[in-house]
């Protein structure tokens, strides 16, 4: 997997023991392209925060140790589900410094399934694909649930 | 004649007891009825169960068996292409974004946030003589005590219709598209749902599907679909308009996920913004 290796890359593809939780499914392509057993964390600068359906996307420019840059795309949930998880379209804008945690795309492209974002002011946005409702057996909205389908590495569609 | 008196008394008493029941109007005809209905209406309902069915042992017809024998698994969801085409019933209700129930006399409407579609269920009514096909079907419903029974017919030919799962597949908590078998449904496809509250914040939807071109017996869908209630801000419905700028899409024609370099997608989005 072509992941930038620098101080900006805080953790790469660390296998995560996932606890079972009931997670919301949502539409369109499934989470099959992502390796839900792994998590990567990158630091970079927001290029665009696209609040959209079926998926929101966060584009982040990451500087590599050799000075070159690359653009990463992180896929979030639908706007309604993200709003229920405490996210907002105004949370990020171009130029903001962020630290992003995500499940990496399997083939090594610069794509991830959004888990959480730490903003420059220290605020942390969690459950980037949408949190389950209270009482669903998972974490409450905003508490940071693992990616969909984590226990079996067979995530539901989102 | 004397010996007939007990029988006569029994018949009269039975008739009197039955009168209030026979005279009672079915629920769902007046505004006041909403206070007598189970509270499906506060907040919204989010699916927490697999959107595709678990394996079933309901026997296939010969026609369906032939389809299953030659079936090639799909890599992802057929409706994941451009335009976000709806899968139709029943899968559209199960995709995670919540359902919101509304009532007016004679109708219950179910807003499906995913795709911003709404089902309209005509209460205490008959199906149309010649219903046109649609992705949600034509639905009529009535209450049996605390249970809303919805009977739906007239489905579009291309709703995403699951026959079952591939051998040995679909046993996890969430069944994935590559594990399932999809196929065409018959012209008389009928779905009957029984919807009720399990507790104040849990709703279940038990679905039986009737299609004698696919199964030899009625197909009882599994798992029972469970929905959890969102309240407060989370219980407020959102709009859902499809955006086609995804970095990842699935092409059913090629049966593969199509990726674009995020840098290229970003460039395109920024160019669009600047024009």
Domain ranges of chain B: 32-244
What average pLDDT does chain B have? 88
CA distance A120 to chain B (A): 22
A33 touches chain B (CB under 8 A): yes
Provide the domain count of chain A.
Answer: 1
Shortest CB distance from B262 goes to which of A20, A59, A155? A59
Asked if A23's CB is within 8 angstroms of B247's CB, the reply is no
What's A9's domain CATH number? 2.40.50
Asked if B47's CB is within 8 angstroms of A110's CB, the reply is no
pLDDT of residue A142: 28
A37 touches chain B (CB under 8 A): no
* CA separation for the pair A147, B258 (Å, rounded): 21
The secondary element (H helix, E strand) that includes residue B182 is strand B180-182
The secondary element (H helix, E strand) that includes residue B194 is strand B190-199
> Is the confidence metric ipTM above 0.90 for this complex?
no
* CA separation for the pair A108, B116 (Å, rounded): 34
Residues 6+ apart with CB under 8 A from A65: A4, A5, A6
CA angle B128, B131, B134 (to 5 degrees): 135
Give Dmax over CA atoms of chain A in angstroms.
48
CB B92 within 8 A of CB B115: yes
- Indicate whether A151 belongs to any domain: no
What pTM was estimated for this model as a whole? 0.80
Phi, psi of B21 (to 5 degrees): -65, -45
Residues 6+ apart with CB under 8 A from B3: none
Q: Choosing among B246, B267, B274, which should be mutated to test the A contact, i.e. which has the most A CBs within 10 A?
A: B246
Tell me the pLDDT tens digit for each residue of B90-123.
Answer: 999 998 889 999 999 999 999 999 889 999 999 9
Alpha helix stretches (DSSP H) within A11-152: 79-84
- Indicate whether A99 belongs to any domain: yes
Give residue A66's region: left, alpha or beta (phi > 0; psi -120 to 50). alpha
Greater pLDDT, B4 or A93 = A93
A137 touches chain B (CB under 8 A): yes
Phi, psi of A152 (to 5 degrees): -115, 0
Asked if B238's CB is within 8 angstroms of A48's CB, the reply is no
* CA separation for the pair A77, A57 (Å, rounded): 8
- Indicate whether A2 belongs to any domain: yes
- Indicate whether A139 belongs to any domain: no
- Nearest CA-CA partner of B142 in B130, B150, B131, B154: B150
A142 touches chain B (CB under 8 A): no
**B84 to chain A: nearest residue by CA?**
A28
* A chain contacts of residue B265, beta-carbon cutoff 8 Å: 57, 59, 73
State the residue range of the domain holding A2: 1-13+39-131
* CA separation for the pair B249, B258 (Å, rounded): 5
* B chain contacts of residue A155, beta-carbon cutoff 8 Å: 174, 176
pLDDT of residue B76: 74
* CA separation for the pair B137, B106 (Å, rounded): 18
CB A127 within 8 A of CB A139: yes
Greater pLDDT, A77 or A97 = A97
pLDDT of residue B10: 54
Asked if B84's CB is within 8 angstroms of A25's CB, the reply is no
What token pair was written down for B235?
Answer: 């219980």
- Indicate whether A24 belongs to any domain: no
Phi, psi of B180 (to 5 degrees): -100, 160
A22 touches chain B (CB under 8 A): yes
- Indicate whether A147 belongs to any domain: no
pLDDT of residue B22: 47
CB A128 within 8 A of CB A114: yes
* CA separation for the pair B132, B154 (Å, rounded): 6
CB B80 within 8 A of CB B248: no
In A53-112, the residues whose Cβ lies within 8 Å of chain B are 53-55, 57, 59, 70-73, 75, 78-81, 83-84, 105, 107, 109-111
CA distance A83 to chain B (A): 8
- Indicate whether A96 belongs to any domain: yes
What token pair was written down for A77?
Answer: 């949930």
Total H helices, total E strands in chain B = 3, 14
CB A32 within 8 A of CB A155: yes
* B chain contacts of residue A150, beta-carbon cutoff 8 Å: none
Number of CB pairs, chain A paired with chain B, less than 8 A apart: 184
- Indicate whether A27 belongs to any domain: no
* B chain contacts of residue A130, beta-carbon cutoff 8 Å: 96
Tell me the pLDDT tens digit for each residue of B33-73.
Answer: 999 999 999 999 999 999 999 999 999 999 999 999 999 98
* CA separation for the pair B49, A81 (Å, rounded): 16
* CA separation for the pair B233, B146 (Å, rounded): 27
């Amino acid at each position: 997997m072509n992941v930038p290796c620098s101080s900006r890359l805080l953790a790469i593809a660390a296998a995560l023991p996932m606890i079972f939780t009931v997670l919301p499914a949502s539409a369109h392509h499934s989470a099959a392209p992502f390796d839900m057993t792994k998590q990567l964390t990158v630091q970079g600068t927001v290029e665009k925060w696209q609040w959209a359906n079926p998926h929101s996307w966060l584009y982040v420019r990451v500087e590599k140790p050799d000075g070159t840059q690359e653009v990463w795309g992180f896929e979030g949930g639908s706007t309604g589900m993200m709003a229920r998880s405490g996210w907002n379209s105004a949370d990020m804008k171009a130029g903001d410094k962020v630290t992003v945690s995500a499940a990496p795309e399997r083939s090594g492209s610069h794509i991830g399934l959004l888990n959480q974002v730490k903003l420059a002011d220290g605020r942390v946005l969690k459950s980037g694909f949408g949190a389950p409702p209270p009482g669903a057996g998972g974490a409450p909205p905003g508490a940071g649930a693992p990616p969909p389908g984590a226990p079996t590495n067979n995530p539901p569609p989102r | 004649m004397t010996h007939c008196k007990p029988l006569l008394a029994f018949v009269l008493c039975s008739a009197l007891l039955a009168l209030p029941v026979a005279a009672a109007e079915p629920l769902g005809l007046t505004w006041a009825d909403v206070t007598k209905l189970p509270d499906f209406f506060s907040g919204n309902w989010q699916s927490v169960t697999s959107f595709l069915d678990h394996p079933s042992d309901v026997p296939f017809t010969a026609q369906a068996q032939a389809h299953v024998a030659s079936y090639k698994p799909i890599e992802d969801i057929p409706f994941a292409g451009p335009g976000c085409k709806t899968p139709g019933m029943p899968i559209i209700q199960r995709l995670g974004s919540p359902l919101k129930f509304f009532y007016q006399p004679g109708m219950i409407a179910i807003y499906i946030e995913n795709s911003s579609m709404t089902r309209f269920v005509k209460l205490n009514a008959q199906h149309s003589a010649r219903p046109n096909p649609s992705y949600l079907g034509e639905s009529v419903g009535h209450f049996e005590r605390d249970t809303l029974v919805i009977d739906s017919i007239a489905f579009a030919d291309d709703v995403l219709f699951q026959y079952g799962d591939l051998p040995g597949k679909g046993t996890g908590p969430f069944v994935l598209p590559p594990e399932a078998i999809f196929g065409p449904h018959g012209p008389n496809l009928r779905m009957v749902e029984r919807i009720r509250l399990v507790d104040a914040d849990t709703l279940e939807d038990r679905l039986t599907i009737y299609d004698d071109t696919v199964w030899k017996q009625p197909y009882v869908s599994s798992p029972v679909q469970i929905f959890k209630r969102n309240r407060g801000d989370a219980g407020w419905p959102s709009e859902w308009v499809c955006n086609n700028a995804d970095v990842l899409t699935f092409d059913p024609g090629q049966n593969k996920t199509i990726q674009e370099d995020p840098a290229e997608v970003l460039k395109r989005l920024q160019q669009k913004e600047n024009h």
